[in-house]
Amino acid sequence: MESWILTLVIFLPLFGAAWVCGSNPADQRGIRNKALASSMVTALLTLIAVILFYTADVQPGDFCLDDNRTTWIGGGESSSIDISYHVGVDGVSLWLLVLTAFLTPLAIWASFSGIRERVRDYYAWMLVLETGMLGVFCALDLLLFYVFFEFTLIPLYFLIGIWGGPLRREAANKFFIFTLAGSVLTFAGVLYLAYYAYAHGGAGQFTFSIVKLTQMGQEGLIPPDVQWWLFAAFAAGFAIKVPLFPVHTWLPLAHTEAPTAGSVILAGVLLKLGTYGFTRLSLPILPDATVTFAPFMATLAVIGIIYGALAAWVQDDVKKLVAYSSVSHLGFCMLGLFSLKVAGVTGALLYMVNHGLSTGALFLVVGMIYERYHTRDINRIGGLARPMPWMAFFLIVFTLSSIGLPGLNGFVGEFLVLLGTATSPTVTDGVAPGPLHYGYVIPAATGIILGAVYMLWMCQRVLFGPVNEPPHTPDTSAGLTPDLNRREIAVLAPIAIVCLLLGVFPKPVINSMQPAIARHILKFEPAADTDTDREERAYAVLSTKAGDINSTAQGIHNPVAADLRVGRFGSPRPTRRSAATHETATLRCTVNQSDTDPRPQRARQLSGSRNDASNSDSAGARAGAWAPDQGRIDVPGHMEGTQPG
């Protein structure tokens, strides 16, 4: 079951779309039920995938549910071209997959009263869009990732262009042109990365395997100058999708003109495709370029945080206010990612999920108000807490979630992002100093204050004060009631419950994310950063060698090499760095090794080195490995009388 569950999750909505298309257009109720049933079964299968993920017999952080690998183009892993249908999940992608499967049926259910024209086409496009989004988060082949990434443009273009507001065509065209223009540059980067793997990767293979390309990047096989160009190409597509300031201008119009469900999916999931692209591809495959560009990206993120908050503050349209808040919130995701710390990246991933829940729910509430009053103008509505107490309750809950009230989901992600950014120049989590510092935290925290100001101002205007309703409203012609009905409460209640659970007990989600971040996103290499650490490690090596030399001569495993890797001697000092710019001192320990001594091979496994014995000196300097031809340990740092690298 593990080998096909993800494939079933991805493509079941596509079969549901075909089922909907085969329905009688006049049978609107049957069409709605078929679409909802298809998305609900997909959500159920996703729940089964989560259970299989937690029960899988793999190392923490590894990809799992990835046994289903089928050659797509070429002859597979053994040929010169390796393009495969390969899907799998780890702790990074699993929760975005769950978010997609969770929000889609709620968005479909919320559309039952709002969509009255071309109903069959609408629900078919919604299910097709779900397939594209699920595929992005499961793809382990870079070309497959790109196909799913671009595939999402088509259904959303039609959803906005057909069922949107008065400016729907302008919004759809602007969305399509912006995202497609950036994606063309991203595709050029995808092709060149695969070519570089073929020409310089050592395996002589034209591969799109994300796992292999990540391995290349973390082993330093892609030079910095190549990484910089590839990073720029990837950022062109991903930054527009986020959207990152200043390429965000398509988003407010698209949000405002999209139908309610389209806005929910756009804010809840589609914007996360950009941040996920940075997380899955840019950070692990292009580590040197990431470090170089991190201050620039973080600066744009901070500008976006403040600009988005100020722009939201001056809006009279409630939906446009929530749209600009997304620009501000996604800036926090980018800031956490480029802190290059475990806490920051964890916070960014959690923020993606939390933003999808709270902002998606806010768009649902705004849509429910619009269906009754046919306006989103704050100046034309007010005091709605009296006629709509249920709506007021949910609007307050999701507003507090959005501004990061402790006890709700938004607080945890914001705290971890700011913590990771503030501790970026330190080694508190076992990772070397990052490129950011406390100077990024202060303006970002200002964005949190501004967020509370504009969101609470919106609630005060809409919910409290004298009742202000447009003439001949609320409109109950579509079977609605003056306040939220049972269906609408049932749509919003699950999101509110999840927001509370993630705010009170986020540990299970965080615990599944962090091993994957350490294994697949952030590169860990050893480095002793202080003289004391270097001396402690050297002393430990000498002491252990003196007491263990007899056992090692018999081929018994000596844990010194492993201890050097995992940091049992003093504090661990892994770092993200290039071998070309760092030197290490060499501590030579002459011992009598047998030919079967397992230490060299074990140390190379622990360090992740793929260098052969002829390059052991450079490999040792780069990864702290045993040098099998001389029986030595290369210790990062310096010994007494040796200058540090």
187-216 per-position pLDDT tens digit: 999 999 998 888 886 667 788 889 889 988
Give the model's pLDDT for residue 503: 94
Residue 104 near residue 156, CB atoms below 8 Å = no
Q: Is residue 523 helix, strand or coil? A: coil
Q: 3-state SS of the chain: helix, strand, coil percent to 5?
A: 65, 5, 30
Q: Judge whether residue 254 has pLDDT over 60.
A: yes
Q: What is the mean pLDDT of the chain?
A: 81
Rounded CA gap, 611 and 27, in Å?
Answer: 65
Both ends of the chain: CA-CA distance in Å? 51
408-433: burial string, b at 16+ Cβ within 10 Å, e else: bbbbbbbebbbbbbbbbeebebbbbb
Strand-by-strand arrangement of the 81-86 sheet: 69-74, 81-86, 206-207
303 CB contacts (<8 Å, ≥6 apart)?
Answer: 245, 331
- In single-letter form, the type of residue at position 74 comes to G
237 CB contacts (<8 Å, ≥6 apart)?
Answer: 149, 179, 182, 183, 185, 186, 187, 274, 277
- Confidence class of residue 581 from pLDDT cuts 50, 70 and 90? very low
Give the model's pLDDT for residue 427: 74
The DSSP symbol for 581 reads: G
Rounded CA gap, 399 and 366, in Å?
Answer: 12
Give the model's pLDDT for residue 428: 64
360-390 per-position pLDDT tens digit: 999 999 999 999 999 999 999 999 999 999 9
- In single-letter form, the type of residue at position 138 comes to C
Rounded CA gap, 70 and 467, in Å?
Answer: 61
Q: Judge whether residue 601 has pLDDT over 60.
A: no
Q: What CA–CA distances, in Å, run from 123 to 34, 150, 162, 457, 516?
A: 9, 20, 12, 35, 35
| Mean pLDDT computed over 316-331 | 93
41-78: burial string, b at 16+ Cβ within 10 Å, e else: bbbebbeebbebbeeeeeeebbbbbbebbebbebeeee
Residue, of 474 and 456, whose pLDDT is higher: 456
Q: In terms of Cα–Cα distance, which of 428, 635, 426, 425 is closest to 533?
A: 635
Q: Judge whether residue 40 has pLDDT over 90.
A: yes
- Confidence class of residue 636 from pLDDT cuts 50, 70 and 90? very low
- Confidence class of residue 415 from pLDDT cuts 50, 70 and 90? very high
Burial of 306 (0-12, 13-18, 19+ CB in 10 A): middle
Give the model's pLDDT for residue 465: 87
Give the model's pLDDT for residue 409: 93
How long is the chain?
645
Give the model's pLDDT for residue 566: 35
pTM for this model (two decimals): 0.80
Element (H, E) at 394: helix 389-402
